[in-house]
Structures are given as structure tokens and as C-alpha cells.
Amino acid sequence: MTPDWEVRRDLIDGVVVREVRNVVTHNGITTELFRRDWGIADYEIPQMIHVALRGDAVSAWHMHEKKTDHIFVVGGHIKVVLYDDRDDSRTRGQLDVFNLSPARPQLLVVPPSVWHGVQNLSNEVSAFVNYFDLEYDYEDPDDWRLPPDTTEIPYRF
């Protein structure tokens, strides 16, 4: 970790993790989820979703060929696993595992064409916000899936 809260870790090419500070106030905690001046995205954010994941649930595997995911956990404890299967990537074949929770806020940026799976590590509901650089296209979804136990990705939840 650098003094600017940048994670020192050899991540999958295009993946960004931004450590975020909680601001403790007299009546609670305020957490910035995203700021343009962080330099993480040089595009507008046209869509944002909130996901409530049931206790102990696994949602895997997902991939978008065009969209970038920006994942921020707002409740509970979630594991996010990334797998780089991009032919032209210098990190092809690499797995990255992140344990995310509000106790240590982080913004995880998942670039296009990187497979990702999410596991709720709690037996209660965990929740995250995910915003994208492209809107979901109902006519032509940029949403590719594999089952959690696929043999194409060397990881088991």
C-alpha cells in the first residue's frame, strides 16, 4: 500500500483496486464510492445497479466483452474472483481473489473480457453496488456466463 492508498500487487492487466477511506461523522459513516478525480474512469457512468446476494450464495461465472464493472461492497462480506482468459493479455491465465467488505472499503474495477465470480462469505445478505461504462442492452446483452463448476476456469468456490 502506498501513502496514496494504492494497492501494490501484480493484478490482472486492466484491473484496478482503489482503497477508499471511511469518513466517520458525528452521526455515522460516509464513504465515497467514486470520484472522477481518482482517475479510474475517463468516461461517464451511464448505469448503476445494487445487488443483494443471499447468504452463502455464489454468482459465477460472468463476463462482458464490452462493459467495465466497478464493484463496491456496501454490506456484508463478499469474495470476488477474477480470471483472465484474454488471448492478447500479458496476464492470461492469472487468477485474482479479493475479499471485500465495508470494514475495508475498496473499489474493484473489472475490465472487459475478464471472467468474474462472486461469493457471499456471510450467511446473511451481503450487498454491493456495480456501475458500468455502458448501459445494459436488452436487445443484445453483453453478458456471458459459465457455471460455477466449469472446468474452463481453475478455481472452485
How many distinct structural domains can be found in the chain?
1
Quick check: is 11 in a domain?
no
Q: What is the DSSP secondary structure assignment for residue 90, as one 8-state letter?
A: T
Percent of the chain surpassing pLDDT 90: 74
What's the CATH number where 60 sits?
Answer: 2.60.120.10
Residue 28 lies in domain:
16-34+49-145
Predicted TM-score (pTM) of this structure:
0.86
Please check whether residue 82 lies inside any domain of the structure: yes
100: CB partners within 8 A, 6+ apart: 71, 72, 73, 77, 78, 79, 80, 106, 108, 128
Domain membership of residue 74 (yes or no) is: yes
Of 130, 129, 127, nearest in space to 64 by CA: 130
Indicate whether 88 belongs to any domain: yes
User: Is 4 inside a domain boundary?
Assistant: no
* Span 102-119, pLDDT tens digits: 999 999 999 999 999 999
Whether residue 129 is predicted with pLDDT greater than 90 in this model: the reply is: yes
User: Distance (Å, rounded) from C-alpha 17 to C-alpha 118?
Assistant: 16
- The rounded distance, in Å, linking the Cα atoms of 109 and 139 is 25
> At residue 69, what is the residue type?
D
Any domain includes 81? yes
